[in-house]
Structure 1
Amino acid sequence: MNDRPVFLCIAYAFPPILRSGTHRTLGFVRHLDALGWRAVVVTVKPDGEPVDAALLDRVPPGTRVIRTEWTDYIDRAKRFLLACGIGGTKSDESQGIGPETPTVGVGSLGSITRDEARGSVSADDGSDAAGATTSLHRSRSLRDWLSRALMTPDTRIGWVRPAVRAALAAVREERPRVIYSTSPYMSAHLIALRVARRTGLPWVADFRDPWRGNPFRDTGYASLDRWDDRLERRVLRRADRIVCCTPTMTDDLVRRRPFVRGKCVTILNGFDREVTGRIVPERLFPPDVFTMLHAGQFYSRRSPSVWLTALRRLMESDPAAADRFRFVQLGSTTYQGRPLTDWAQDAGVESLVHVLDAVPHGRALSLMAGSDALALAAAAGPGGHLQVPNKLFEYLMLKRPILAVCTQDSPIRAILEQAGAVARVCEPDGPQALAEAMRSLLDHVSPSGRESRSEPCPEPRASARAISRCALHPHEDDDRFTLSGDAPTTSAMEVDPQAWSGVDRFDRRHRARELAEIFAELTGDAVRASAEVRSVRRSEIPLSPSRDGAVSSASTAHTSC
């Protein structure tokens, strides 16, 4: 009989499903297994999802995985409205809902505009045409409201009931000691909420993205916004611990919901060191062509426009340099419904842009490792600073020069600094600075991805000061991170034997130990677990604290442009 403690994991993204969130959950399951915690995972059947069968090989042998169906309420509503004669056209039946766009965009029960959804369409009162138009718009408005209601908090609300049944059965059979739920999708937390209420088990709710205040979410109606707010509040009040994956998200949540203070912590994302031994770098272009690769998606306010404009300015200012520069987009092939190749053609840089569809994770790492530099795109505008693309940590693991576009208050800057990364950071509205950074990388980075000159790149030293405004500092007794004040900075791309010296702190094993400590505290084994986990942290994580407790960044090769 297996007497190891069990935790119930509720996660939509789990192998073989290939999503960015899969790696955090899989990494926790793997490393918690090594720390003595066996996982029972409730997830979905991967029908219709992108899959990577190789990820299944990394699931620990003792892990029990329960895969459930989920009900597509949008599809059911479409069919019902069509049967009643008020559901739009037959062509509407084929309209899918993007799995990563909950409560965003036009209604999925029929195509209407935002103005139509709010009924703000003018017509002459008293006319038959006006009456017919008003009736049509009311029907469309009903369809849009219902569509958005069925996507609150997200498009997987139809997973809640079957997952709750499966989770309660697993509790009876496996006797877990703690519940762990992770989002997106936020419906995972609604499942955990019901299970926690029924069983009384302690519960850790992990937020990879913010629920409220998310720049990519829009309920569209005040009534649905109030309901969405109420759902988040219920989850936050019942959860025993709340985990956010960025310090800015934690700060924002505590500001919005003061009652979570004291039970809300930050556990950053990370990388899985064990995969590096299987990576064989793969180049897409000859060695004399400088290759910059962006892995991930462009969507909403994470736009390719600044990158394409920068490429255009590089082409105009230095055609010879542009001729040996290629920008590779790996992952999504469209933006706002149009092929990225069309966007590149509109910008006049189609010869510099190479677009690849999603590939298995192992090959994606090989393509990243074979590139001369890696591009990181964060969301612009309000709320963009709350999120950090998970790919950043794999970039750090591969130790390739990084060109990042993010806001001044983004924790990306501080993470790069703490890692000692060879990196450039530019503003989302600064295509000229981005073009100059591309040109500088061409001059100072060899095709192997290492610097070819010993002197710093000619970038303004004063601009690196912006990084320090969100410097990451560890707590006194471990390597968790929070936002705090100024920290020392250095100039750009300095060749230093200690460059990348802080990368190991972002190994996901350390993050899993933080989660294991939370589990132990909630299950009454806090003293022993705290001593063991902190002992391992101190012995394995290289920290160089300064006199004031901040981590020294004297070796950082990083600038802001």
Structure 2
Amino acid sequence: MNRPHLLYTAWSFPPSRAGGVYRAVATVNAFANAGWDVTVLTVPEALFRTSTGSDEELARQIAPGVRVVREDPHVPAFQNDIARWSFGRARFPEVHKLLDLRKDFVHFPEPNYGRWRPGLEAMAERVHGEHPVDLAIGTANPHVDFIPGWHLNRRHGVPYVMDYRDAWQLDVFSGRRLITATRGVRRWERRLMESATEIWFVNDAIRSWHANEYAGEVDRMRVVANGFDEYRESLQIPVREERTDGLVFGYIGTITPNVPLAVLIDGWRRAREREQHLAGARLVLRGYIGHFGAGDAAASQAIEAAAPDGVSYEGPVGKSDIAAAYRGFDALVLALGTGRYVTSGKVFEYAATGIPVVSVHDPGNAATDVMKDSPAWVPAAALTTEGVADAFSRAARMAASQTAADRATAQRWGAQYSRSGQLDPRIAALTAAVGH
């Protein structure tokens, strides 16, 4: 029997270092390991190296045999070589940007990305002509990634899946509709959903919001949580023998303005003043500062000012080296922006380690639903200095007393969130649906 063929579209694909890239790599690898031929539509590697930053090691984690097809979307927002700009763009950048947006909206209602639609449709046709596609998946954002599946469905009857890593109309932090949710966006989202075979969301809160908006499509909506991935080494981290010399708390993730850095540092400082288990303890922050790797002066200054309190920034860590980073920590800090639709992919990785996790986020975040039954979870009762300080104190006591058996129990609980556990049921259902 012929192997089924998946066409997967993702703007963020290695060597991109954007958060959504891990979901993309894991999905592609899972289908390849399940016996599918996989073709990926994405953008040139140079786009990431000159704009959002790259993780070259991650590219080596792609399953053998996966074919990657790249096409330049010619998006000005990612063209950072000023020497190559036109005179008009260099002299009047704001005017140029407003006029240039027409190139997007004439094709698809998404600023900066809409112009990629013709290129995506042409690539999808070429791939399908060379090797007939049995299933298409687009992962968003950008939401133009949904176009190849919709196009092949309309032209050739190919089933497709819409995989939302976020939301097109919903601001997951405020819970309000985004200002970019125009009538055109609403029309296109409904059109795309009406013919999709499945529609995936990362948590039930986001799925429920869309279920209310599109009641007719509820039966095809699924929650496919992010889950955790293991690369070079297992995430089952042993208890650190050196913890008696001073506990080490660790945060791993991008430090954006949404991260409650001020209350995190204030709460840490307050807890360190009064909790004996935090005497000599350190708080180590790992990850990029800012989404685009350009830094955030305010965040950097706040971290530097907290150095006397044992706070330090030790740079980003590659995904393939993540287990080694976790081995240096006795407790983990889950600091997230406020919003009941916010989960973060990091929560699943934290859970897998079995290391005590202190939550520094609003209790109403969707991450609470993930961690609430963990035997190694210490939530802040409120996102205030006092609430965070109390959580740090309790987490310190747990980290100081956690036994190897306790760690193993927490790891067994966290194992349910493996990426394969999330994807395997969907792959089985879709394999049956396409007749292979």
With the length of structure 1 as denominator, give the TM-score of the two structures: 0.66
In structure 2, the residue matched to 1:385 is 340
- Residue 236 of structure 2 contacts residue 353 of structure 2 at CA under 8 Å; is this kept in 1? no
Deviation at 1:344, TM superposition (A): 3.1
- Residue 73 of structure 1 contacts residue 158 of structure 1 at CA under 8 Å; is this kept in 2? no
Aligned length: 425
Stretches of structure 1 that go unaligned for 5 or more consecutive residues are 93-108, 111-138, 455-494, 526-561
From 48, 56, 60, give the equivalent of 1:57.
60
1:331 aligns with 2:287: yes
Report the Cα distance in structure 2 between the residues aligned to 1:441 and 1:258, rounded to whole angstroms.
42
Deviation at 1:409, TM superposition (A): 3.6
1:373 aligns with 2:328: no
Deviation at 1:16, TM superposition (A): 2.8
From 394, 401, 413, give the equivalent of 1:440.
394
Distance 1:311 1:408, change over 3 A: closer
Distance 1:11 1:144, change over 3 A: closer
Report the Cα distance in structure 2 between the residues aligned to 1:163 and 1:362, rounded to whole angstroms.
30
Partner of 2:314, secondary structure, is strand
- Residue 39 of structure 2 contacts residue 68 of structure 2 at CA under 8 Å; is this kept in 1? yes
- Residue 306 of structure 1 contacts residue 428 of structure 1 at CA under 8 Å; is this kept in 2? no
- Residue 9 of structure 1 contacts residue 41 of structure 1 at CA under 8 Å; is this kept in 2? yes
Report the Cα distance in structure 2 between the residues aligned to 1:503 and 1:301, rounded to whole angstroms.
26
Tell me the alpha carbon deviations over residues 327-367 of structure 1, each in whole angstroms, 9 at most, x when there is no partner: 22211225993252312356x55542211332321223311
Deviation at 1:225, TM superposition (A): 2.7
In structure 1, the residue matched to 2:318 is 360
From 72, 75, 79, give the equivalent of 1:72.
75
1:311 aligns with 2:268: yes
- Residue 135 of structure 2 contacts residue 158 of structure 2 at CA under 8 Å; is this kept in 1? yes
Report the Cα distance in structure 2 between the residues aligned to 1:286 and 1:178, rounded to whole angstroms.
50
What is the 5 A alignment of 1:101-500?
A: 109-110=93-94, 153=110, 155-215=112-172, 225-273=182-230, 275-277=232-234, 288-317=245-274, 323-334=279-290, 337-345=296-304, 348=306, 351-380=309-338, 384-418=339-373, 420-427=374-381, 429-446=383-400, 451=402, 498-500=409-411
Detail structure 1 runs of 4+ shifted over 6 Å in the superposition.
78-82, 143-151, 216-220, 278-283
Partner of 2:199, secondary structure, is strand
Report the Cα distance in structure 2 between the residues aligned to 1:286 and 1:8, rounded to whole angstroms.
48
Partner of 1:239, secondary structure, is coil
- Residue 243 of structure 2 contacts residue 330 of structure 2 at CA under 8 Å; is this kept in 1? no
- Residue 177 of structure 1 contacts residue 202 of structure 1 at CA under 8 Å; is this kept in 2? yes
Report the Cα distance in structure 2 between the residues aligned to 1:416 and 1:278, rounded to whole angstroms.
17
- Residue 282 of structure 1 contacts residue 366 of structure 1 at CA under 8 Å; is this kept in 2? no
Deviation at 1:443, TM superposition (A): 2.9
- Residue 134 of structure 2 contacts residue 158 of structure 2 at CA under 8 Å; is this kept in 1? yes
Distance 1:362 1:524, change over 3 A: closer
Report the Cα distance in structure 2 between the residues aligned to 1:400 and 1:62, rounded to whole angstroms.
36
- Residue 264 of structure 2 contacts residue 385 of structure 2 at CA under 8 Å; is this kept in 1? yes
Partner of 1:261, secondary structure, is helix
Partner of 1:271, secondary structure, is coil
Report the Cα distance in structure 2 between the residues aligned to 1:7 and 1:25, rounded to whole angstroms.
13
Report the Cα distance in structure 2 between the residues aligned to 1:496 and 1:3, rounded to whole angstroms.
45
Structure 1 or 2, whichever has the larger Rg, is 1
Tell me the alpha carbon deviations over residues 255-297 of structure 1, each in whole angstroms, 9 at most, x when there is no partner: 12212211111111212346434999999x9862321111112
Report the Cα distance in structure 1 between the residues aligned to 2:85 and 2:177, rounded to whole angstroms.
21
- Residue 279 of structure 1 contacts residue 366 of structure 1 at CA under 8 Å; is this kept in 2? no
Distance 1:194 1:212, change over 3 A: same
In structure 1, the residue matched to 2:19 is 20
1:6 aligns with 2:9: no
Amino acid of the residue matched to residue 344 of structure 1? Answer: I
From 482, 506, 513, give the equivalent of 2:417.
506
- Residue 362 of structure 2 contacts residue 383 of structure 2 at CA under 8 Å; is this kept in 1? no
Report the Cα distance in structure 2 between the residues aligned to 1:361 and 1:497, rounded to whole angstroms.
23
Deviation at 1:204, TM superposition (A): 0.6
Distance 1:301 1:506, change over 3 A: same
Report the Cα distance in structure 2 between the residues aligned to 1:192 and 1:227, rounded to whole angstroms.
19
Distance 1:287 1:186, change over 3 A: farther
- Residue 310 of structure 1 contacts residue 431 of structure 1 at CA under 8 Å; is this kept in 2? yes
Deviation at 1:31, TM superposition (A): 2.3
Bigger relative contact order, structure 1 or 2 (CA pairs below 8 A, ≥6 apart): 2
In structure 2, the residue matched to 1:29 is 28
Report the Cα distance in structure 1 between the residues aligned to 2:127 and 2:331, rounded to whole angstroms.
46
Deviation at 1:53, TM superposition (A): 2.9
Tell me the alpha carbon deviations over residues 172-191 of structure 1, each in whole angstroms, 9 at most, x when there is no partner: 11112111111222221134
Percent identity, please. Answer: 19
Report the Cα distance in structure 2 between the residues aligned to 1:425 and 1:280, rounded to whole angstroms.
21
Report the Cα distance in structure 2 between the residues aligned to 1:290 and 1:75, rounded to whole angstroms.
42
Amino acid of the residue matched to residue 401 of structure 1? Answer: P
Amino acid of the residue matched to residue 240 of structure 1? Answer: T
Stretches of structure 2 that go unaligned for 5 or more consecutive residues are none
Report the Cα distance in structure 1 between the residues aligned to 2:156 and 2:37, rounded to whole angstroms.
19
Amino acid of the residue matched to residue 411 of structure 1? Answer: A
Tell me the alpha carbon deviations over residues 103-129 of structure 1, each in whole angstroms, 9 at most, x when there is no partner: xxxxxx44xxxxxxxxxxxxxxxxxxx
Distance 1:409 1:221, change over 3 A: closer
- Residue 333 of structure 1 contacts residue 339 of structure 1 at CA under 8 Å; is this kept in 2? no
